[in-house]
Structure 1
Amino acid sequence: MANTPERPRRVRVQRDGPLLIEGPVEVVGEHGEVTVSRRFTVAICTCRRSRIFPWCDTSHRRRGACKPSGPAARPDPEATRDGGDA
């Protein structure tokens, strides 16, 4: 069989939600641990509230929207937060 280049993985970015990645995927954590999923599409948690991190368990829905981070994050002047981090 001829060697054909694999098509790039598609990553869908959602506001206030997980990253959706066409699987299978391997996720390498900050300490080098590798987590594997062979599912067709996987949801990667971006808010770190998931009990099954790095996979999303929709915790961001129960506790309010995920707090954006990084250079694109802009403070919401209408947000009412008590100052504690999740």
Structure 2
Amino acid sequence: MTADPDVIVGTEASITVCPDGPLLVRGPVTIVDGAGRSITPPSRMCALCRCGRTSRTPFCDGTHKKRKRVSPAEAS
């Protein structure tokens, strides 16, 4: 059996919230859609869409850059 180059052994996953952008997911994760199907991340790090306008669901395609989104900290 060969090692999977996209699996980081002994590393925990982390999620970083990008202001007015996606969630950056780093490390070994399993993404499951609403129907219970596994979605393979394109690499060891992926960006998950938060704006809902991506054409690559659930991954970010940069569409959020086309609109101004106000973060909760800026709204108050």
The aligned residue for residue 15 of structure 2 is 11
Q: Which residue identity lines up with residue 8 of structure 1 in the other structure?
A: E
Residue of 23, 26, 29 corresponding to 1:22: 26
Cα deviation, residue 44, structure 1? 0.5
TM (norm. structure 2) is: 0.67
CA RMSD, aligned part only?
A: 2.6
Q: Tell which has more relative contact order, 1 or 2 (C-alpha 8 A, sep 6+).
A: 2
Q: Does 1:58 align with 2:68?
A: no
**Could you list the runs of 5+ residues in structure 1 that have no partner in the other structure?**
78-86
Which structure dedicates a bigger proportion of its chain to helix? Answer: 2
Identity %: 30
CA distance in 2, matches of 1:9, 1:31: 23
